[in-house]
Amino acid sequence: MVNVVPIRKNSMTATQSKAWSAMLAEMAVTKDKSLYIQLYQHFAPKVKAYIIRLGVMEATAEELTQEAMLNMWRKSHLFQPNKSAASTWLFTLARNQSIDWMRKQKYPEYSLDNMQDRIEEASDADIGEQTVQSERIAQAVSQLPENQAQVIYMSFYEGRSHSEIADRLMIPLGSVKSRIRLAAEKLKLTLRGEQ
Amino acid sequence: MNINHHLDEATLFSYVAGSLSQGMALVVASHISICDSCRDRVFETEAIGGALLNEMVSDNSSDGSASVKVDETALEQVLACLDQEEPTISLDSSLSDGESDACSPGNTGEVPAPLSDYIGGSLDAVQWKRLSPGFYYFDVFKEQRGICRLLKVAPGKSILPHGHHGNELTLLLRGSYADEVGRFAQGDVADLDDQIEHQPLVDGNEDCICLVATDYPLRFTTLLGKVIQPITRF
């Protein structure tokens, strides 16, 4: 068994969050397994908890988590620390892994036709900016009105479509969409530091 | 490309959450791959997903997720897998994950990369099926409740008036149409729900080709529409 320094803390500060992104970026370059282990120990339980919330049985969630964490190693060269925080990138890996398994087909992903140009344009961005934003959002989510938080959670954590949410809450489709819209706009204002 | 009609915030949010149907996700991914402003909105929304992931497994969790543990032997197994991995850092591999083949030979530039995975790079090579004079379709894939379909409609023709029981997403790939909502041209996306009734009319001089996805059957408002609905499977 590899000796691992326990890293995970219950309440993460901006500095810690920034450290995870920097660590992932460094691992992408150096392929240093000790960094991988620290990232794994921090993110794997979160990824597994997220996948279970999507309705996947625990044994399968365990396998999907391992696959997602393997992809963290395999695809680390695609991580762009000036574009997203480590947690954001891990979220997309976990989401794709679980949806692909649930649907037995690949979830359509957008392609970055001008990716190289955009990387160069953003190359001076501060790695920490994305991660500080991430924490602002977490706080903003907890402050949403209950009816908006409810649809956000049903969409993100339970993977439910607008129509399913409407059926479950017995409200019109338009109400589901307007609640999501309102919540998303608030969260994005927070993201931009405007609220 | 001058794009005037974009994705609804609620649609974009559900795409990022992974809760759109396969067909609707394909329309969204295709639009995002050619629309800088919607792509930036996706990046913002993904940051929300990252923040929510960060909230998992903490003492603040009130739903039991704090108790989620990963199998203790799993890390060793993963590390053993890493030892067998070959280095993957190369220009080719950096472009292989979701990167486009829109620039590949045979792609006319009209087919966004996510869609080209399903139909190839040319709209002219699609095996169109005739629905009625001036109307052609091609099912990209079968959906449980809705459709994911390419439509080709001749100039001057209009779709029968209809509303929706759920959501309807339409991405314009060639030509244009006008309806009660506005005028839609290449790259535009029409993001409609059950509040909208419309009758799109192809208003240009060329065929209008679009990718349409729904998550519920349409609601035709004329007798003719209702009669032909079972045949057309809209």
- Whether A113 sits inside 8 A of B74 (CB atoms) is no
Name which residue leads in pLDDT, B91 or B72: B72
**Percent residues over pLDDT 70 in chain A:** 77
Instruction: Give the mutation candidate from B3, B54, B189 for the A interface (greatest A CB count, under 10 A).
Output: B54
3-state secondary structure B170-212: EEEEECCEECCCCEECCCCEEEECCCCCECCEECCCCCEEEEE
Strand partners, B164: B218
Q: For A15-63, what is each residue's pLDDT tens digit?
A: 566 688 999 999 999 999 999 999 999 999 999 999 998 889 999 999 9
Nearest to B50 among A36, A88, A98 (CB): A88
pLDDT exceeds cutoff 90 at A174: yes
**CA–CA dist B42, A43 (Å, integer):** 22
Identity of residue B182: G
Nearest to A156 among B39, B52, B69 (CB): B52
Nearest to B53 among A46, A52, A107 (CB): A46
Q: For A80-126, what is each residue's pLDDT tens digit?
A: 888 888 999 999 999 999 999 988 777 888 754 444 444 444 444 45
pLDDT at position A79: 92
Residue B152, min C-alpha distance to chain A (Å): 23
pLDDT at position B227: 64
The chain A residue lying nearest B196, using CA atoms, is A174
* Residues A171/A129, Cβ–Cβ less than 8 Å: no
pLDDT exceeds cutoff 70 at B226: no
Rg (CA), chain B: 21
**CA–CA dist B38, B212 (Å, integer):** 18
Q: Identify all chain A residues contacting B65, using CB atoms and an 8 Å cutoff.
A: 49, 52-53
Torsional sign, CA A20, A21, A26, A27:
positive
The whole-chain average pLDDT of chain B stands at: 82
Chain A residues 9-68 within an 8 A CB cutoff of chain B = 10-12, 17, 28, 31, 33, 36-37, 40-41, 43-50, 52-54, 62, 65-66
pLDDT at position A107: 81
Name which residue leads in pLDDT, B145 or B140: B140
pLDDT exceeds cutoff 50 at B149: yes
Q: What domains can be seen in chain A, in order of their start residue? A: 14-125 (1.10.1740.10), 143-195 (1.10.10.10)
Q: Identify all chain A residues contacting B6, using CB atoms and an 8 Å cutoff.
A: none
pLDDT at position B204: 86
Using a CB–CB cutoff of 8 Å, tell me whether B47 touches chain A.
yes
**Once rounded to an integer, what is the mean pLDDT over residues A2-27?**
62
pLDDT at position B95: 41
Strand partners, B191: B169
Q: Which of A1-5, A112-116, B158-162 has the lowest mean pLDDT?
A: A1-5
pLDDT at position B220: 64
**CA–CA dist A156, B106 (Å, integer):** 38
Size of interface A-B (CB pairs under 8 A): 246
The chain A residue lying nearest B102, using CA atoms, is A113
**Once rounded to an integer, what is the mean pLDDT over residues B118-134?**
92
The whole-chain average pLDDT of chain A stands at: 81
**CA–CA dist B182, B109 (Å, integer):** 25
Q: What domains can be seen in chain B, in order of their start residue? A: 1-55+71-234 (2.60.120.10)
Could you tell me the pLDDT band of residue B81, with boundaries at 50, 70 and 90?
confident
pLDDT exceeds cutoff 50 at B130: yes
